[in-house]
A and B are shown apart, each in its own frame.
Chain A
Amino acid sequence: MSTYTLSFAHLYGDLMNTYGDYGNFIAFNYYAKKIGVQTEYHLVSLDDKFDAEAFDFALFGGGQDYEESIVAEDLKYKVDDIKDYIENNGPLLAICGGFQLLGHYIEMADGSKVDGISVMDHYTTNMYQDNLTVLKGQRLTGNIVIKNNDTHEEYHGFENHQGRTFLGKDERALGTVISGNGNNGMDKTEGVIYKNVYGSYFHGPIFTRNGNLAKRLLVTSLERKYPGIDWHSQLEAIETESF
C-alpha cells in the first residue's frame, strides 16, 4: 500500500469555484493516483486557519465579484500564513480571482477597489482604464495559447476576465501569449510564476488540458515532501493529457 500522501488545500473552495477550477484538483489527483500517491483534500474557507506547515499543495480559484470581496476581507487574517507558505516554496496554483488577490489590489468592474494581500507584486485594474490600448471596456474572453519561456511548452485554455493584471518586477509570466489576450491584452504576458506559485487566467481548467504543467507541480510537491525519490521518471511513464 502507498505510504505517500499529499495534503491539498483548496482555498475558499466553497466560494471561489467558477468555471471548473475544481477540475485542477481532479487532474492533480488523477496523476498522483497513477503513481500510487494519495491526496487528502482540505477546504480552507472563511474563518479557517491556513496552516502553512500542513499543506503540500494549494489551489486558489476564481469567484464572482461579490464572493471575491467577502474573501478579500477574510484573507487579511491569513496573510502571514500564506506568505510563509509561499516564501517556503509551497506549491500553489492561483486562477483568475485567486491570482488577482495574491497581488496588491483589484479594481472591480464597478470601479470599486478590493485589497489584495500583497504577497506578490502584481496589481489588477479594470477594463475601463485610460491606459488600455486593447479591448478597452470589453472582457477578455476566448481561447488562448501561450508558450512557457523556460520549457517552451505550449499551454491551451480559455480566458474569461474583465480585470487587467500587470506583473511586478520580481515576477515572470507563466507564458508569452501566442494567441488570445493574457494578463492585460497589451504586454503579451499570461499568468505569473513566482517561486512555486503559478498564477493564470486560464480556465479549461489549466491542469486538465495541460498535463505537463499538472505533472510539473505534482513533482514539485512530491520532491518537497519526499525528497530523494525519482518522481519525475515515474510520472514520465504516465500518458500526459494535452489538448
Chain B
Amino acid sequence: MTLRSIVARATAKSAHWFLHDVMHRGGTSLPGKLAVAIDPNILKSIQQDFDLVIVTGTNGKTLTTALITRVLQAGGYEVITNHSGSNMIQGVTGTLVTRKIKPSSNGKKPIAVLEVDEANVEKITHAIKPKMFVLTNIFRDQLDRYGEIYTTYDKIIAGIKHAPEAVVLANGDSPLFTRGDFPNERRYFGFNHISPENYTPGPAPINTDGILSPTDHTVLNYDFITYANLGKYFSNSDDFARPNLRYQVTSIDKLTPNYSTFAIDGTPLRIEIGGLYNIYNALTAFSVGREFDVSPEQIKTAFESNAQIFGRQEAIHVDGKDVTIVLIKNPVGTNSVIDMMLTEDHEFSLLILLNANYADGIDTSWIWDAEFEKLHDTNIKAVATGGERHKDISVRLKMAGFEDQATYKDLATVVQAIKAMPTEKVYVAATYTAMLQLRQQLGSAGFIKGGF
C-alpha cells in the first residue's frame, strides 16, 4: 500500500468514526469521497485484502445481500458489507476503506459482499475486480432513471466486461440473463419445484415485460411461471430454453404471509417472511454460499438464527387490529404482495395509500399494470384507499370491482382508517412517502416507537 493510500484510508476511517460513532449517522458517502479525493486508486490498492462479490439487479438486493452476509459468516468467513443507502461508488468506496476486519484464524480470505446500484457496477469494476457478480432480476420501475430493462442490463454488462475472470451467478429463471456477449463463466439458479406432468405450457400473461427470445425475437413460452417473467421458459421456434440450473428450489411446501418452507437441492429450509420473491432471495444466498463451500446445514442454520433480518413486514397493533405494513412501488412488487395475500388464511382488510412524490415515482400509471383484480380470490373483506393520489387508487380499485370503499383524502386520518376496518387483520400497502407519513402518524399516536 502506498503512503497516499494509507493516508486516504486513515482519513476515511476517521471521518467514518466521527460520523458513525460520534454523530450516529450511518450510510454517508463522505468517507468514500474523502478517500477518493486523496487517492483515486484507493480501491486498487486494497483489493488484495479480500474477495469481492457484487450483488446487483433491480429488486431484492438489500435482503439478498444481508442473507449472503449471514450465510458466508456461518461458513466461517469474515465479511465486509454495505448498507442499502450506500450502493453507489462513493458509498461502496467508503465501506471498503473504513472496513474493520479481524485477522482470520482459519485461513479463509475475507469476502466483501456489496450491494451495487445497476448503473454503478462499471464504475466499481473499473477500480476493483470482483470474484463474482450476483444478478438477482431486472424489472421495470416507474422510478427507473435509465429507461428500459435492456438498458439497465447493458449497464451491468459494461461492468461485467471489466472483470472477465469473475463468475456470473445469475437468476436463470429470467430470460434476460441469457443475453449479453461477455466471456465470463455463467452459473444459474432457479426454480424446479414443479414436475413435468404438472407443467402448463404457454406464454406469459400479456402484461409481462421481457418475454422475447434473444435468438430470434419470438415470444417465449413457459412450462411454468413463478412470477413476472421468471420461470422455466423455452422457445417454440428453436432450441433456446432456460439454461441448466446449478442450484434449484426443489419443492415449495408452505407459503404464508409470515413464513415460507421450501427445499433447495433437497435441503429443507424455512424463512421468516412471506412472498415467493423472498424465496428467490434465499435461493440466491444459498447459491453464493455453496459457491464458497458453505455447507447446506450451515446455510440452514444461518437462515434460522437470523430471523430478525427478514423484518421488513413489521407487525403493529392498533387498538386490537393486527396491522401489517407492506411497501408497494411497482407492478411486479405489488403483484407479489397480492400473491402473498392469496396465502392469508384469515379474513382481512386492505388499506392502500398512494403518493406520487419523487421517491414514489411521479407517474401513477403503474397501478393499472398491477393485478388488483386478483384480490377477489383472497379472503379480503374490505378495501379502503387514501394518500395524496387517493383518487387514482380509488378509481383503480373501483374498476377492479371494489366499488364499496372508504377513501381517506388526508393521511392524518390514517389511524382512524385502520380502526374503522371491519376485520382484526389489516394490511396497509403504501408507496414510499405514504409509508413515511403513515409511520409518523402511527408514531405520534403511540403505536410504534420512534421514526424508522
**Can you list 7 residue pairs at the A/B interface with Cβ under 8 Å?**
A10-B206, A14-B208, A14-B211, A17-B209, A20-B366, A66-B150, A209-B392
Task: Check A22–B365 contact: CB distance below 8 A.
Answer: no
- Complex interface: stretch among A23-31, A114-122, A229-237: A23-31
Closest 9 CB pairs of A and B: A23-B368, A20-B368, A20-B365, A203-B365, A64-B148, A13-B206, A243-B391, A19-B365, A30-B399
Q: How far is the CB of B378 from chain A (nearest CB, A)?
A: 19
Which residues, 121 to 171 on B, are CB-close (under 8 Å) to A?
140, 142, 147-150
Across the interface, name the chain A residue whose C-beta is closest to B399. A30
12 further contact pairs, Cβ within 8 A, besides A26-B368, A141-B363: A14-B204, A14-B208, A19-B366, A22-B207, A23-B365, A65-B148, A65-B150, A70-B217, A208-B395, A208-B396, A241-B398, A243-B391
Once A10-B206, A19-B142, A70-B212 are accepted as A-B contacts, the answer to whether A26 and B399 lie under 8 Å apart by CB is yes
Task: Check B149–A64 contact: CB distance below 8 A.
Answer: yes
| Chain A residues near B (Cβ < 8 Å) | 10, 13-15, 17-23, 26-27, 30, 43, 45-46, 64-67, 70, 141-143, 158, 160, 203-205, 208-209, 241, 243
Tell me if A's interface is mostly helix, strand, loop or mixed: mixed
Task: Check B363–A19 contact: CB distance below 8 A.
Answer: yes
Residues of A within 8 A of B364 (CB): 158, 204
Residues of B within 8 A of A64 (CB): 147-150, 209
Task: Check A67–B212 contact: CB distance below 8 A.
Answer: yes
B209-226 vs A, Cβ < 8 Å mask (1 yes, 0 no): 101100001110000000
Complex Cα gap A14–B212 (Å): 10
Complex Cα gap A45–B142 (Å): 25
Cβ of B420 within 8 Å of any chain A Cβ, yes or no, is no
Q: How far is the CB of A64 from chain B (nearest CB, A)?
A: 4
Q: How far is the CB of A37 from chain B (nearest CB, A)?
A: 15
Complex Cα gap A14–B400 (Å): 20
Residues of A within 8 A of B395 (CB): 208-209, 241, 243
Q: How far is the CB of A60 from chain B (nearest CB, A)?
A: 13
Task: Check A22–B206 contact: CB distance below 8 A.
Answer: yes
B392-422 vs A, Cβ < 8 Å mask (1 yes, 0 no): 1001101110000000000000000000000
Residues of A within 8 A of B208 (CB): 14
Which residues, 355 to 410 on B, are CB-close (under 8 Å) to A?
362-369, 391-392, 395-396, 398-400
Complex Cα gap A185–B213 (Å): 36
Residues of B within 8 A of A20 (CB): 365-369
Complex Cα gap A143–B385 (Å): 22
Q: How far is the CB of A50 from chain B (nearest CB, A)?
A: 16
Complex Cα gap A134–B74 (Å): 58
Cβ of B203 within 8 Å of any chain A Cβ, yes or no, is yes
Complex Cα gap A142–B392 (Å): 16
Complex Cα gap A88–B203 (Å): 32
Complex Cα gap A76–B365 (Å): 30
Residues of A within 8 A of B209 (CB): 17, 64
Complex Cα gap A202–B32 (Å): 42
Task: Check B391–A14 contact: CB distance below 8 A.
Answer: no
